[in-house]
Amino acid sequence: MAASFTPSQRIVIPIRDASNLTVPAASAGTAVSADILDRRGRPVRDLRISVTDRCNFRCTYCMPSDVFGRDYAFLPHADLLSFEEMTRVTRALQGLGLQKVRITGGEPLLRRHIERLVEMLAGLGGLDLTLTTNGSLLARKARELRDAGLRRVTVSLDSLDERIFRAMNDVDFPVAKVLEGIDAAAAAGLAPIKINMVIKRGVNDRDAVAMAAHFKGSGHILRFIEFMDVGSTNGWRMDDVVPSAELVHRIDEVFPVEPVDRQYTGEVAERWRYRDGSGEIGFISSVTQAFCRDCTRLRLSPEGKLFTCLFASSGYDVRGLLRGDVDDGELSRRLAALWQQRSDHYSEVRTAATAAARKVEMSYIGG
């Protein structure tokens, strides 16, 4: 059962101060080389930037309305990192080996002038830049995002069944509007488009084959995500998880598939392709097939906390560094020290006790 919170109170995440990180003596006063490794030998390759903790959906597995109600205190705009600050962190991490940036939320398209951030990040050069959205505002924003330098987009869509989708987003939003956004993104050249479907047993798992049928041959890549114990408010239970292996079997019975080698180390989705050559699908299996050993991701929260794990309970205060007198070299050394001290492997050691522990919410940090 989910932990109990008073809706009028914002969930407080304990924060550690990045200014207190121990910087290795050998790096003090010198540049930090790329390809630094954490304590488990993993490089930093991916950054997910959550630009807002607000969302216009109340998906039951992410932002349940009984917690995130009308009285919920979201972060005030003054507390959010500026686009310049987000870009500065990205530039520093790029010097440590960063290759990919994903803009997330909340719903990132709710952040005003989000295309400016896209333009600034694209201007750094050499980054695989993408964005994850619920698709509700994508039809009107796709072209300007592409013009600003965005290359790809991922859209969350949990069912094609109108009744089920409206119930899951819990704001009565229609499927057609999301499909319209996907079409607009394709027309704008934001391809290949990935479609993320979070699967919850007894809720939308029977729609998996229908989703596969709909997007098969479209050029889009459908990905099935196991219902995860992110945060402390979504009522996660293992009984609600549909293992990816079960879904592969269901789809293979209708549309024969075969496994595909992953494209790069740290890729979270297990790839499969249709044997008739009509495209591919993916499975993200954090619960039943942990991929901690290859995790190369950092997450930056809207007000400047860096998290080294999706399932963390605390982050590192980088905003204090950005708004202090720390120069770019020192910022880089602090971030290198943070990564070098990282040893997270939550999904490999998940137990009933750890699953029930208080963790940062997905709506705050992004997926």
- The per-residue pLDDT for 265 is 72
- The per-residue pLDDT for 288 is 82
pTM, 2 dp: 0.89
Q: Is residue 50 a contact partner of residue 305, using CB atoms and an 8 Å limit?
A: no
- The per-residue pLDDT for 10 is 41
Q: Interhelix angle for 138-148 vs 175-188, to 10°?
A: 20
- The per-residue pLDDT for 287 is 83
- The per-residue pLDDT for 27 is 47
Domain layout of the chain by residue ranges: 41-365
Quickly tell me which residue has 């996660």 as its tokens. Answer: 236
- The per-residue pLDDT for 14 is 47
Distance CA 152, CA 155 (A): 10
Per-residue pLDDT 10s for the chain (367 aa) are: 333 333 334 444 444 555 555 554 434 445 565 679 988 999 999 999 999 999 999 998 888 899 999 999 999 999 999 999 999 999 999 999 999 999 999 999 999 999 999 999 999 999 999 999 999 999 999 999 999 999 999 999 999 999 999 999 999 999 999 999 999 999 999 999 999 999 999 999 999 999 999 999 999 999 999 987 766 667 778 889 999 999 999 999 999 999 999 887 767 889 999 999 999 999 998 888 866 788 899 999 999 999 988 777 778 999 999 999 899 999 999 999 999 998 876 555 555 555 556 657 767 777 6
Which fold, 41-365? TIM Barrel (3.20.20)
